[in-house]
Amino acid sequence: MEEFAKAEQAKADGNKYFQEGKYAKALASYSMAIELSEDDGLDGLDSLDDTKPKNPSIQIYYANRAFCHIKMENFGSALVDATKAIEAKEDFPKGWYRRGSAQMALGRPKEALKDFMQLCKLAPNDKDAREKLKQCQKQVQADKFAKAIGCEKTKPASETVDVAKMEVDSTYDGPMYISGSCTVDFCQHLMEHQKKEQCIAKKFAYQIVLDMIEMLKQSSTLVDIDVPEKGEVTVCGDVHGQFYDLLNIFALNGVPSEANPYLFNGDFVDRGSFSVEVILTLFAWKLAFPNHMHLARGNHETRNMNKLYGFEGEVTKKYGEELYQLFCEAFCLLPLCHVINQQVFVVHGGLFSQDGVTLDAIRKVNRDCEPPDEGLMTEMLWSDPQPGRGRAPSKRGVGVAFGQDVTENFLNVNGLKMVIRSHEMKEEGYEIEHSGKLVTVFSAPNYCDQMGNKGAFIRLDGKTMTPKYTTFAHVSHPNVRPMQYANPMLGQLMGMS
């Protein structure tokens, strides 16, 4: 009984931390409660004794830890814990609730529907449960409709949209985009215009994305970047729609130019509510300096993520559905990774579930699609490093967690010096791992207006490829909350409504 009391105290501590928004500490407390409940103290000999009392709260510990994982967006781990809660007590409603939530966040509405249906059977009078089921059913139907419509379409939006017929209002006083001739002056004017919360004319927004699509068609899955011996290149991580922090990066480090090249390493959009402004700015600079402004695809440059985390809603609200379809085309053409001076491999997520992957194998990956459930492309977008060695299932439920030996194998096979990746928030904006052979860089400070983290960027010199780190704090932005355009279902599932 003493172990039960300790486990209950650990749960209580976890609840307190959770209410304070300290999810990592709450996670540790719930884990302690689970460990105390599962540790029989007799080297497992009593596993044959069915008379030994089991902790009647174990399913609660698992469900609470699953909710922590959902808050931390570790949806794969949430799915595992919710399933364990169900296994411990099959008629425990919160187990089904958490598992359905994790399934939805992973973009699996059909699987989530089964869980929410079971939830409603167990709690038929619960209004919230019925609402979740209703929303999930709507999502499944919407996906079916979208798939049917997609099958009917024979041409992509870029081949059907008619920009010539779009009129620019006579009162418009913003930047004027001339197709095929993007200048520094236009880029500067665009940033100033958007800084005032003003949209550029619809015609110009469409033309920028159309020109970007044509340019990206000439690109490749892996892009080699050459930096002169006396030159430098700046690598930035996730920006996530934080337009005013992007402007601050340019204020601190200079705007893109032939003498000041950049590589933005994915996750330009979603969560932050100025994603349109971010992506149009990055596309414009890319059009102005095709060989000195580099853009890589992140896991949020995908339809599944955009549907949940806000970009689809934002584009549709500001410009219309057709422009969103054009963005989706452009995202599918973005490179998946870069190699700088044949020494530094830069990728959004991380490395692979198998050793021996070569750069040539990566070059052959077809990038012009939505990411599949598994494979090299998905792992490049989703994987994360882990301490120690070996591989483990990803806490996200997609990709793989990889250790230092995996990093070293990849570098040795390909004659490289180090890996730079993004994909994870870091308190200081960057983190050096795997004995200095892998670095994570994240460029969205005070992530989602609540994490308090710094942002960072990395400068590499062409002669030695030695990384220099610059950290920076967030700047103020107009009073528009993050996730303003996100799918309401996501907010409900994560307890943000």
Catalytic positions are 300
Pairing of strands 293-295, 262-264: parallel
CA–CA distance, 351 with 440 (Å, rounded to integer):
13
CA–CA distance, 170 with 365 (Å, rounded to integer):
46
Placement of tokens 């052979």 in the chain: 437
Whole-angstrom Cα Rg for the chain: 24
Long-range contacts from 359-362, C-beta under 8 angstroms, 24+ separation: 359/222, 359/414, 362/221, 362/222, 362/336, 362/337
- The CA-to-CA distance between both ends of the chain, in Å, stands at 39
CB neighbour list of residue 403: distance below 8 Å, 6 or more residues apart = 385, 386, 387, 388, 389, 390, 391, 434
Calculate the CA 345 to chain-centre distance: 19
> Alpha helix locations (H) across 39-126?
58-71, 75-88, 93-105, 109-122
Residue 461 phi/psi, 5-degree rounding, is: -90, 145
Q: Which helix (H) or strand (E) holds 236?
A: strand 232-236
Report DSSP letters for 430-495, one per residue.
Answer: EEEEGGGTEEEEB--SSGGGTS-PPEEEEEEETTT--EEEEEE------S--TTTTS-HHHHHHTT
Amino acid type, 218: Q
- What number of CA atoms fall less than 13 Å from residue 104's CA on the CB side? 30
204 and 186 Cβ atoms separated by less than 8 Å = no
Q: Which helix (H) or strand (E) holds 189?
A: helix 184-195
- Residue 365: both structure tokens together: 């990956």
CB neighbour list of residue 10: distance below 8 Å, 6 or more residues apart = 29, 30, 32, 33, 36
Q: Which three-class secondary structure state does DSSP give residue 170?
A: coil
Placement of tokens 């200079």 in the chain: 254
